[in-house]
Amino acid sequence: MAPRRCRASGRSISLRRWTTSTSTAWGTGRSASGTWSQRYYGRSLPFGRDSFSVPQIGLLTVEQALADYAVMIRELKRQLAAARCPVIVFGGSYGGMLAAYMRLKYPNMVAGALAASAPVLSTAGLGDAAQFFRDVTADFEGVGSDCRDAVRGAFHQLEELSQQQDYSLIQSKLSLCAAPSSALDVQQLNGLLRNAFTLMAMLDYPYSTHFMGSLPAHPVKVACDTMRSGSDLLSSLRNTAGIVYNSSGLLPCFDLYSLYVQCADPTGCGLGPNSLAWDYQACTEIDLCYESNNVTDMFPPMTFTETDRQLYCARRWGVVPRPDWLKTQFWGDALSTASNIIFSNGDLDPWANGGVRQSLSSSLVAVNISGGAHHLDLRGSNDADPESVVSARKTEAELISRWVEAERSRLPSP
C-alpha cells in the first residue's frame, strides 16, 4: 500500500469520537452502533450480555477507554500507512472530556483536541453543586421570569398536593399511569419532571432534533409557551413534560418508572444499556453531585451528596466512588502545561459553566457560543444556526488547521 501523502492531499485522518456514542447516557437509548464507541457503549461490549455484571464492569474506566483510542490510532496509522498524518480528536459532552484527556495524556498520538461542551471541571468536583440546575433555570428565565415562576409555582403546587397526600389529584393532573403511593414515588416524579427541563435546556437548538428523543426547535421557548398556556399550572407542567416524554402525542399516560430511572447522575442516565455504563462511570470516576435547591433554581430541593452517591454506588455496583480522582488524573484546573485544546461551550448549555470558559493560553482556547446549546458546534450546519456558531466553527477550523500544519512539520519525512 502506498503511504498516504497527507501533505499533498491536504487531508488528515480524524478519529471523530461521535458524541452520540456517549451522550446517549442522557438520552433515549439511541444506539451508537455504526460509530466508533467507547468500550461498554453501543456494541463495544467486552463481555457481551454479561458486560454490566460485577466484576466484568470493572474494566470500564476512563483510562482504559483512552488506552483503547491510543492503540486504535496507532493501529489505524499502521494499517493505513499514515504515520505522517496528524490526528485531531473531536468529542462532545463526555466525549469532549475524552478528547481533552487524550491530548493531555497522549500528545504523542494526537496533535490537538476539540472538546465541545466538556464539563472537565465540574465532573472533577471543581465548582458548585448548585451550578447545573441554576443554569438550567437561567435558560427558562431567559425566555421570561414569568416562565421560571410558573415552573416553580407548578412544583410548589405538586409539593402541596403531596403533603396532603392527594395522590389521585396528582395522578389526574399529571396524567400518570398510576397514582403515586409514597413520598418515594413523588421523588421519582420530581426527578422525571426536572429531567424534562434539563433535556430541553441542553438541547435548546434552533431547529427540531431527533438526537435524544424528538424535540421541537427552541424547546425552551416552546416549554415556556406551554407553561404560560393551559387551564392551570399542573396541567401546563404535564404538557411541558410531554414535549420530552410524549413528542409523538401517542402516550396515554406517563409511567413514572419506565420513562426515567434514577441513577448516580442527577442530570439523568437515560435508558437502555448505555445508561448502565454511564451510571457505573458516575459511581466511580466521574463526579456528578449536582443538586437543586429551589433557591438558585426553580426545582424542588433534591440533594445528591457524596454520601448519597456512596450509598447508592455501594448498593448498585459494590464500588466506592473516588471523588478526588478525576482532578488528580486529568489535572483538574491545573491545565497550563497542556496545549492544542479548544474548549467550546454554548451559553444556553447547563454544562457550560462546568467547563473551561476562558482561554488559558494561545493554544488552550475557550470558544464561547452565544445562543448555543449542548455542543451545537459539532452538529451539521443548519440555516437556523446563529452567527455565533458559524463563527465558532470557523475559529475551530483555523486553529485545527494550524495544529495540523505544525504537527506535519514535526513528524519525520517519509
Q: Whose grid coordinates read 421557548?
A: 221
CB of 133 to its own copies, least distance (A): 28
CB of 334 to its own copies, least distance (A): 4
Q: According to CB under 8 A, which one of 29, 44, 56, 67 is a site residue for its own copies?
A: 67
CB of 131 to its own copies, least distance (A): 20
CB of 147 to its own copies, least distance (A): 39
Work out whether 39 is an interface residue with its own copies (CB under 8 A): no
Task: Specify whether the CB–CB gap between 284 and 271 falls below 8 A.
Answer: no
Q: Which of 33-41, 67-75, 153-161, 266-274 is the region at the interface with its own copies (rule: CB under 8 A)?
A: 67-75
d(CA 47, CA 45): 6
Work out whether 63 is an interface residue with its own copies (CB under 8 A): yes
Residue nearer to its own copies on the CB measure, 53 or 336: 336
Residue nearer to its own copies on the CB measure, 70 or 302: 70
Residue type, 241: A
Query: 10 Å Cβ neighbour count for 353?
Result: 19
Residue type, 340: N
Q: Which of 69-77, 114-122, 293-301, 394-402 is the region at the interface with its own copies (rule: CB under 8 A)?
A: 69-77
d(CA 201, CA 215): 11
Site for its own copies in 86-115 (CB under 8 A): 105-109
Residue nearer to its own copies on the CB measure, 107 or 272: 107
Q: According to CB under 8 A, which one of 13, 70, 251, 319 is a site residue for its own copies?
A: 70
Task: Specify whether the CB–CB gap between 383 and 362 falls below 8 A.
Answer: no
Residue nearer to its own copies on the CB measure, 307 or 328: 328
Cell of 207: 431547529
Residue nearer to its own copies on the CB measure, 104 or 202: 104
Kindly report whether the peptide bond that precedes residue 412 is cis, defined as omega within 30 degrees of 0.
Answer: no
Query: 10 Å Cβ neighbour count for 169?
Result: 15
CB of 92 to its own copies, least distance (A): 24
DSSP string across 50-85? GGGSTTGGGG--HHHHHHHHHHHHHHHHHHTT-TT-
d(CA 151, CA 168): 21
Residue nearer to its own copies on the CB measure, 102 or 298: 102
DSSP string across 186-238? HHHHHHHHHHHHHHHHHT--SS-B-SSS-B-SSHHHHHHHHHHSSSSHHHHHH
Q: According to CB under 8 A, which one of 16, 74, 156, 357 is a site residue for its own copies?
A: 74
CB of 90 to its own copies, least distance (A): 19
Site for its own copies in 332-371 (CB under 8 A): 332, 334-337, 339
Q: According to CB under 8 A, which one of 163, 214, 305, 328 is a site residue for its own copies?
A: 328
Question: Residues with catalytic annotation?
Answer: 93, 349, 374
Q: According to CB under 8 A, which one of 18, 331, 351, 403 is a site residue for its own copies?
A: 331
Residue nearer to its own copies on the CB measure, 66 or 264: 66
CB of 331 to its own copies, least distance (A): 4
d(CA 249, CA 246): 5
Site for its own copies in 295-324 (CB under 8 A): 324
Residue nearer to its own copies on the CB measure, 332 or 371: 332
How many residues sit in the footprint of its own copies (CB under 8 A)? 21
CB of 314 to its own copies, least distance (A): 21
d(CA 15, CA 28): 25
Q: Which of 141-149, 237-245, 328-336, 392-400 is the region at the interface with its own copies (rule: CB under 8 A)?
A: 328-336
Strand pairing category for 364-369 and 13-16: unpaired
Residues contacting 138, CB < 8 A, separation 6+: none
Q: For residue 241, what are the CA distances in angstroms to 7, 39, 296, 359? A: 52, 32, 21, 37
Quick one: DSSP state of residue 178? S
Terminal Cα distance for the chain, rounded: 14
Contact residues: its own copies, CB under 8 A = 63, 67, 70-71, 74, 105-109, 324, 328-329, 331-332, 334-337, 339, 410
